[in-house]
Amino acid sequence: MERLRAGDEDAFVALIRQHHQVMVRLARPYVPSQSVAEDVVQETWLAALRGLPSFEGRSSVKTWLYAILLNRARTAGLKERRHVATEDPERAVDRRRFGSDGSWSYPPAHWTDEVDDRVHAERMSKSIQVAIEQLPSPQRDVLTLRDVEGLTAADACQILGLRQGHQRVLLHRARSRLRDALEAEFGQGGA
């Protein structure tokens, strides 16, 4: 951070190399095209440069960058699409999946880790992308940060401005919807 504040161009280039592609992937579900996602990331880099003097270090640089990015991506997505996604009040998991004692009536089947059929794997990958894009925005945000990008719960909460409990609920609902979508398309167990 000190090198960045001192105007070290190599430090900025290293930061871009480390985070640019992830940032484009994070922005993409919010905007209608890859080119708009790239624009949002460029705007984020400019905002980060302008904001360097006021960065207090209360979070990591990555968390700070991703928070700027998500704010800009949401704004750009609203401008581009002219609609706001709303939260679906449905239950995350169908009650019939549980017995009277609260345990699984039938547990979710494990999906195989050995995928020999490349066509099937490619189809599943596309279906996962579509299912993630169709999640309500708060669920998509948490799932993307936690499961796709591998951030910690604390980092996701800080980026999204969520309490720990709310983040857990959103993540559970997102994972449940994703599982349901894949089970509907590929059958029980995803295979």
Q: Where are the domains of the chain?
A: 2-81, 116-190
Q: Which residues lie closer than 8 Å to 62 by C-beta, 6 or more apart?
A: 19, 155
Q: What is the pTM of this model?
A: 0.58
Domain 2-81, CATH among 1.10.10.10, 3.40.50.1000, 3.20.20.70, 1.10.1740.10: 1.10.1740.10
Give pLDDT tens digits along the chain (191 positions).
778 878 888 888 998 999 999 999 999 888 888 888 999 999 999 999 888 888 888 888 889 999 999 999 988 887 776 544 444 455 566 667 777 776 777 766 665 555 455 666 777 888 888 888 889 989 999 999 999 888 999 999 988 888 988 999 999 999 999 888 888 887 765 44
pLDDT confidence of residue 39: 92
Tokens in use for 45? Answer: 């880099």
Please give the single-letter amino acid code of residue 187.
Answer: G
pLDDT confidence of residue 122: 76
pLDDT confidence of residue 140: 92
Closest Cα to residue 19, out of 55, 60, 52? 60
pLDDT confidence of residue 84: 42
- Contact present, 155 and 63 (Cβ < 8 Å): yes
pLDDT confidence of residue 143: 93
Tokens in use for 187? Answer: 């059958």
Cα separation, 109 vs 107, in Å, equals: 6
pLDDT confidence of residue 65: 92
Alpha-carbon torsion angle 138, 169, 132, 143, nearest 10: 90
pLDDT confidence of residue 57: 81
pLDDT confidence of residue 20: 92
CATH 3.30.1200.10 fits 116-190, yes or no: no
pLDDT confidence of residue 113: 55
Cα separation, 176 vs 168, in Å, equals: 12
Alpha-carbon torsion angle 30, 32, 34, 36, nearest 10: -80
